Structure 1
Amino acid sequence: MFVLVILLSYFAILYTYSYFHSSKNSNETFFRGNRNSRWYLVAFGMIGASLSGITFVSVPGMVMWSDMTYLQTCLGYILGYFIVAFVLLPIFYRHNLTTIYSFLKIRLGETSYKTGALFFLISKLIGAAARFYVVCLILDRFVFKELNIPFFVTVPFLMTLIWLYTRNGGIRTLVHTDVIQTFFMLLSLGVILYGVLEVLDFSLADAYKEVISSGHSRIFEFSDIKSPQNFFKQFISGAFIVVVMTGLDQDMMQKNLTCKTLHEAKKDMCTYAFAFAPVNLLFMVLGILLICAFNTKGIAIPEKFDNLLIDVISNGTLGMNAKIFFIIGIVSAAFSSADSSLTALTTTYCVDIKEKSSDVRLRKNTHALMAILFAFAVLIFNYFNSTSLIDAIFILCGYTYGPLLGLFSFAILGRRTVMDKATPYIAMLSPVACFLISQLTLKMFGYKFGYELLLLNGALTFAGLYAFSSEKKCVSLEN
């Protein structure tokens, strides 16, 4: 009951804060935040928005099987954020876009525009719901099960909380609530780290020595080109992951487009670029220290590495404070990710699919409908109750971002006019071809694709668009 009170108090803070930042119930406020957000608030809030609840529990456990090599990908992210800042943001600001997919209409045509928006809607709804499902399971285990509240009540309850504080202010609300959520997420990480140090009776110097001397402290992998942890594969893939899953994702870009000027948006993106890697480094340091704590206390390390942090919290090793802040951290990361997804889905449907950016009633109804669909998808995942299903969904969503990369690359780099009606077929066939190629190379050469599948997928889409295009030049980027 005490933890539930903490959860409701946390929501009350978000709701109160959002109430005073969403007085104007207009679509301009909801979709664009009136284009007056402070860049440093957006940059700080983006940390929480990028780290979902799954990241909160998975990154510490990741060191068990890949050491700290994920940091290579995080370094690639920095390059990706600079590409977004100096290539994509200028284009989006030049055309004064509400949604980034509107650019596809300007460059490629109506069908390509709708195709990009639909790919985003489907992949974001399913992927965000799958991530939220995993967090709901954790909250069900630590909070609601003790109160005998069934899962089919927990999910609508949590979605209702998110809907309540986003329904009026939309993106303007999220710019401010993300600051709160990021603060509590980082505070939770700090409290948990402090709890582990207390259990180990370590000073900061002792912790540093333990991490450096650990067999899991390996960061760089240059020797095995076939390894998914190879530096070049991770670094380059990390850059393109950011370009696609941030720069070409309405969810992640909508907050950045609320800055007053392009110059401030660039500052926001570059500042955030250098903050993301250190935060993930702290999560990986936590993972190494947790392994040390398990070994010191003689506790068996869980077979499922994602349970590394969850188990040490649930067995009480770190104490009640760590448990409370773990819940707060999970909720902060989950809400920050789910609320922005919900808002982006509403924006894309109203602006891109229905093309009614000024219809307030449509926006309100769509926002409620998306919240219902979100909760329904989570309950569907729980009905099948299959980890392999969730893994397959994440893989599927990864494939659907490849066509977006190809579409935007062709629109930005190309000068040819595409056969617009062919775009949906190209976008659907590219992921299928990508999957077949990955299976063939694994069987014939033993090469297993990692994150670079995204590049292959985008390249196939680009090639398909080129094949169904003419030399007639389309509208220049300066227009």
Structure 2
Amino acid sequence: MSPFLLLCFLIGYFLLLIGVAFFTSKKSSDNSTFFIANRNSKWYLVAFGMIGTALSGVTFISVPGEVGAPSGNQFQYFQFVLGNAIGFIIIATVLLPLYYRMQLTSIYGYIEQRLGVISYKTAASIFLISRTIGSAFRLYLVVIVLQRFIFDSYGIPFWATVLISLILIWSYTYKGGLKTIIITDTLQTFFLVTSVFLSIYFICDSLDISIFQAFETIKESNYSKVFFYEDFMTSNFHISKQLLGGIFITIAMTGLDQDLMQKNLSCKNIGEAQKNMFTFTGVFVVINIFFLGVGALLYIYAQQNGIEIPIDASTGKPRTDFLFPEIALNHLSIIPAVVFMLGLTAATFATTDSALTALTTSFCVDFLGMDKEKDLNAAKHVKRRHMVHIGFSLLMFLVIIIFNAVNDESVVKGIFKVASYTYGPLLGLYGFGLFMKKRGLRDKLVPVVCILAPIICWVLNNNSAELLGGYTFSVELILFNGLITFIGLLLISKPTDLQTKF
């Protein structure tokens, strides 16, 4: 597919999103609409839209690419997905009722009421850092594809592609905020899900097999192994590591993350929010099975047609992230290419637009205290919110540029590796708040604990083979990070007579 046609598609896609943003923010663009959509969102729209936000371009490209990676991943990622599902259920039954009882706009308001102001600011800061990095990584993935298959042909540098992408996202989110995001994410999730099923159809058609034959083909291939029980000490794929990592990364990256929880808090009541989470969980598990199926079919197609894993020009190493776009855009017909671009663009921008809204909300509420203002929608507050929105767009730009200079692995690995370090202290903070109700903290020391815990975790991770008898960490590292934070908080705690109902 020619770069010009891909560029035309991209322009048309964003014009559609800008049109949706115009109509959804036409009646109201105040801060209440931006932050929580006036608490009037339909649960089924939130549930469906969250699929696109949770999956992102990482799932769309990196997960299929990892299926046939040289390390022999196969379908081991599904173990992690099962852990995700357990984590979502915990969020729906434990955290969501807490947030609704407290009527929070920012979920970090719980930390303020339970542990103190400095703990609260620390938790909000951890989110801002974690979500900025995570969302930048996700956007980076689609940008490198756009760069490789569109903008390189026009001599446009990588930094300009990043900037153009962020400007386009900012243009349809800055006014309507969450109210716009819920509609655009629903639309983009529809594109994403449609793209997955159509991609499977077109690959099967190219392999001259039916959809039903594809299941048998995948089952008999070398890519279908799901559960790994071997080498607990040294294997990153062992089921216990993947399940534990999936559970606690989900609790941290979803339940303790303002981005996805902000959508849940926009529902009318806790009942609708829980219906949203349970529905979302079921769809999330099923759609990931299909993504793994796409990965197996891609590698089967590549073997039959002599296609090698593409080389990353910057590192000179094979890059599994490029296999799906390589086949879709250069080896299949124009319709599969358009379908691929539709899914990739929808998945990645659904994540980034949501993140920018959540980052803006958290900073405005947690650091500027806008939710405590008497006139929340005064012109000066709306203008300040716009400036914060621009600020986080620029920060994300810088993170992507830096990541591009140092990254040499698949993005899905990079995201969960960083999340294990950055989100771990949030697990510790919330765990202490929920389970140590008769103890208070020396609030001023909390930032020290939340900085030291990831450092200790990093040292432990890099020396685990020597220190722990050959054991190596995988995604379960986030649990140890949370435990180290919890122990550190316990050491700076003291008995308190202050009664808390939360």
In structure 2, the partner of 1:40 is 44
User: Residue by residue, what CA displacement relative to the aligned partner does 1:251-286 show, whole Å, maximum 9, x if unpaired?
Assistant: 111111100000000000011011111111111111
Change (3 A) 1:377 1:241: closer
In structure 2, the partner of 1:325 is 339
Matched, 1:395 2:399: no
Is the Cα contact below 8 Å between 2:40 and 2:266 reproduced in 1?
yes
Matched, 1:465 2:465: no
Aligned positions of 1:63-142 closer than 5 A: 63-64=67-68, 65-142=72-149
Aligned positions of 1:3-402 closer than 5 A: 3-22=6-25, 23-64=27-68, 65-226=72-233, 227-302=235-310, 303-314=318-329, 316-357=330-371, 358=376, 359-382=381-404, 384=405, 386-387=407-408, 395-402=417-424
Q: Report the TM-score when normalising by structure 1.
A: 0.95
Select which of 420, 433, 436 maps to 2:459: 436
Q: Report the TM-score when normalising by structure 2.
A: 0.91
Aligned residue for 2:495, secondary structure, equals strand
- C-alpha distance in structure 1 between counterparts of 2:80 and 2:208, whole Å: 32
In structure 2, the partner of 1:476 is 500
- C-alpha distance in structure 1 between counterparts of 2:497 and 2:481, whole Å: 25
Shift of 1:477: 2.7
Q: Which amino acid aligns with 2:297?
A: L
Aligned residue for 2:175, secondary structure, equals coil
Is the Cα contact below 8 Å between 2:417 and 2:475 reproduced in 1?
no
Structure 1: runs of 5 or more not aligned:
none
Is the Cα contact below 8 Å between 1:107 and 1:474 reproduced in 2?
no
- C-alpha distance in structure 2 between counterparts of 1:185 and 1:104, whole Å: 35
Q: Which amino acid aligns with 1:129?
A: A
Q: Which amino acid aligns with 1:419?
A: R
Q: Which moved more, 1:172-181 or 1:431-440?
A: 431-440
Q: Which moved more, 1:393-402 or 1:215-224?
A: 393-402
Is the Cα contact below 8 Å between 1:91 and 1:477 reproduced in 2?
no
Q: Which moved more, 1:267-276 or 1:289-298?
A: 289-298
Aligned residue for 1:202, secondary structure, equals coil
In structure 1, the partner of 2:476 is 452
Q: Which moved more, 1:160-169 or 1:322-331?
A: 322-331
Q: Which moved more, 1:427-436 or 1:103-112?
A: 427-436
Is the Cα contact below 8 Å between 1:99 and 1:347 reproduced in 2?
yes
Shift of 1:225: 1.8
Q: Which amino acid aligns with 1:282?
A: F
User: Residue by residue, what CA displacement relative to the aligned partner does 1:101-125 show, whole Å, maximum 9, x if unpaired?
Assistant: 1110000000000001111111221
Is the Cα contact below 8 Å between 1:417 and 1:472 reproduced in 2?
yes
Is the Cα contact below 8 Å between 1:291 and 1:301 reproduced in 2?
no
Change (3 A) 1:61 1:392: closer
Q: Which moved more, 1:29-38 or 1:9-18?
A: 9-18
- C-alpha distance in structure 1 between counterparts of 2:218 and 2:499, whole Å: 54
Is the Cα contact below 8 Å between 1:192 and 1:318 reproduced in 2?
no
- C-alpha distance in structure 2 between counterparts of 1:229 and 1:310, whole Å: 26
Aligned positions of 1:391-430 closer than 5 A: 395-415=417-437, 416-430=439-453
Is the Cα contact below 8 Å between 1:136 and 1:155 reproduced in 2?
yes
Shift of 1:386: 4.2
Aligned residue for 1:100, secondary structure, equals coil
Shift of 1:325: 1.7
Aligned residue for 2:350, secondary structure, equals helix
Change (3 A) 1:274 1:455: same
Shift of 1:154: 2.0
- C-alpha distance in structure 1 between counterparts of 2:14 and 2:414, whole Å: 32
Shift of 1:449: 0.6
Q: Which moved more, 1:331-340 or 1:4-13?
A: 4-13
Aligned residue for 1:368, secondary structure, equals helix
Shift of 1:388: 6.1
Shift of 1:385: 5.6
Q: Which moved more, 1:150-159 or 1:89-98?
A: 150-159
- C-alpha distance in structure 2 between counterparts of 1:71 and 1:454, whole Å: 18
Is the Cα contact below 8 Å between 2:453 and 2:481 reproduced in 1?
yes
Change (3 A) 1:264 1:386: closer
Shift of 1:313: 2.4
Q: Which moved more, 1:334-343 or 1:233-242?
A: 233-242
Aligned residue for 1:52, secondary structure, equals helix
Change (3 A) 1:389 1:451: closer
- C-alpha distance in structure 2 between counterparts of 1:392 and 1:193, whole Å: 26
User: Residue by residue, what CA displacement relative to the aligned partner does 1:312-357 show, whole Å, maximum 9, x if unpaired?
Assistant: 124x322111222211211111111111111111111110012123
Q: Which amino acid aligns with 2:168?
A: L
Aligned residue for 1:321, secondary structure, equals helix
Is the Cα contact below 8 Å between 1:139 and 1:327 reproduced in 2?
no
Q: Which moved more, 1:30-39 or 1:427-436?
A: 427-436
Shift of 1:145: 2.3
Is the Cα contact below 8 Å between 2:321 and 2:410 reproduced in 1?
no
Shift of 1:301: 4.4
Shift of 1:474: 3.8
Shift of 1:458: 0.3
Aligned residue for 2:423, secondary structure, equals helix
